[in-house]
Structure 1
Amino acid sequence: MNKKIPTILAQNIKQRRLDMGISQEQLAEIINASRLTIAWLETEKRWISAEMLERLASAFNCQPYELLQDKAPSSDQ
């Protein structure tokens, strides 16, 4: 099953935030955004700018492209 990039991004943001053990509000403070922005990103209601992608990657200590990669195993094997 192929997921769309917005879905993958939303899942990765939420999963990494939960892995860090922080709330949407805390992540918003770290990247200088609103909690609503984080909620919208996690529910695919808002697309992301390159600048926001970089700020999120920095907060998650990863490369921006990693937030766009599907971590689920492929069913095409």
Structure 2
Amino acid sequence: MEGELQRVVGRNLRRHREDEGLSQEAFADELGVHRTYMGSVERGERNLTLRTVEKLASSIGVEPLDLLREKST
């Protein structure tokens, strides 16, 4: 399905944020991005570059592949 990988990344970031007990705004501040950008990433609306995936993963302390893999709930 087209765009599924970006939705997976968004779900994984949202799960991490919620596990940390952070609001979307606080999480965006922590990552150094705007809240509206973070929202569009979490909704899978952004076509992220590999470099951006690496930066986001590094910022939250996970491997980039962890953001790309679908997690079971």
Gaps of 5+ in 1: none
More helix by share: 2
Alpha-carbon separation, structure 2, partners of 1:25 and 1:51:
22
Alpha-carbon separation, structure 2, partners of 1:24 and 1:47:
19
Report the residue type matching 1:30 in the other structure: E
Q: Is the 8 A contact 2:7 2:45 kept in 1?
A: no
TM-score normalised per structure 1: 0.78
Q: Is the 8 A contact 2:10 2:44 kept in 1?
A: yes
Flag as ranges the 4+ runs of structure 1 deviating above 3 A: none
Say what the alpha-carbon RMSD is for the aligned residues.
1.9
TM-score normalised per structure 2: 0.81
Gaps of 5+ in 2: none
Alignment match, 2:13: 13
Report the residue type matching 1:10 in the other structure: G
Alignment match, 1:27: 27
